[in-house]
A and B are shown apart, each in its own frame.
Chain A
Amino acid sequence: GALVYQYPRRTICKSGTSMRMECQAVGFQATSVAWYRQSPQKTFELIALSTVNSAIKYEQNFTQEKFPISHPNLSFSSMTVLNAYLEDRGLYLCGARAGGWNQAPLFGEGTRLSVL
């Protein structure tokens, strides 16, 4: 079956350092990959959306300089949190879908980031 694999599941980094997380689509080709962050006690904030043959679109309050994303092929995406601080804590989810807007993205298990 189709699933989305995220790595690592949990990670801790020192304040001011960077952390890279990966997202792998298994069993399907991800035409679009969305990265979300769920901060403690909050809903899901869309960080950026990466669609095949289109530039990566970042949401307000999120920038490429802070959250660079790579989407080299239809099965893999990675995102780095640069210079992580306390406010970057949370669960980072990768949602990938094979089709268009009327299909629900399949989420990975997420990468839970703690910052010391």
Chain B
Amino acid sequence: GEQVEQLPSILRVQEGSSASINCSYEDSASNYFPWYKQEPGENPKLIIDIRSNMERKQIQELIVLLDKKAKRFSLHITDTQPGDSAMYFCAGAATGGNNKLTFGQGTVLSVIP
């Protein structure tokens, strides 16, 4: 099945700087890549996603890049704020009709004021 690797596991950045989280996948048929933010004690919430027909997507301070050849995708948070501190998960959808979403291991982001 699909495997999604996520790095780094822990990320600390200064407020106002950028934070980048990288993921890679194995199944070349995977065509959908959502990102989730999970705050302590809460459920994961979708923050941005990208499909294989795009290389870049931006929603406000969130930027997602997809490199299909390298089977890599990344999340970039520009101008980080303390409220961005949370756990972030990338995921990839295995196609073929089974609707299965495989998650990365997660990244704990801490934004230092």
| Residues on A facing B (Cβ under 8 Å) | 32, 34, 36, 42-44, 46, 49, 51, 57, 91, 93, 95, 97, 100-110
Contact = CB atoms under 8 A, between A and B. Distances in A.
Interface centre among B46, B95, B99 (most CB of A within 10 A): B99
B34 to A, nearest CB: 4
B95 A101 contact: yes
Chain B contact residues: helix, strand, loop or mixed: strand
A51 B93 CA distance: 15
B73 interface: no
Contacts of B94: 101
B99 A97 contact: yes
A22 B27 CA distance: 32
Contact of B101 (A34, A57, A108, A110): A34
Contacts of A106: 46
Interface residues on B, range: 20 to 34
Interface of B: 31-32, 34, 36, 42-46, 49, 51, 89, 91, 93-95, 97-106
Nearest to B38: A38
A44 B103 contact: yes
Given A101-B32, A104-B91, 17 more contacts: A32-B99, A34-B99, A34-B101, A42-B105, A44-B44, A46-B100, A46-B101, A91-B43, A93-B44, A97-B99, A101-B98, A101-B100, A104-B101, A105-B101, A107-B44, A109-B42, A109-B43
Contacts of A103: 32
A93 B89 CA distance: 14
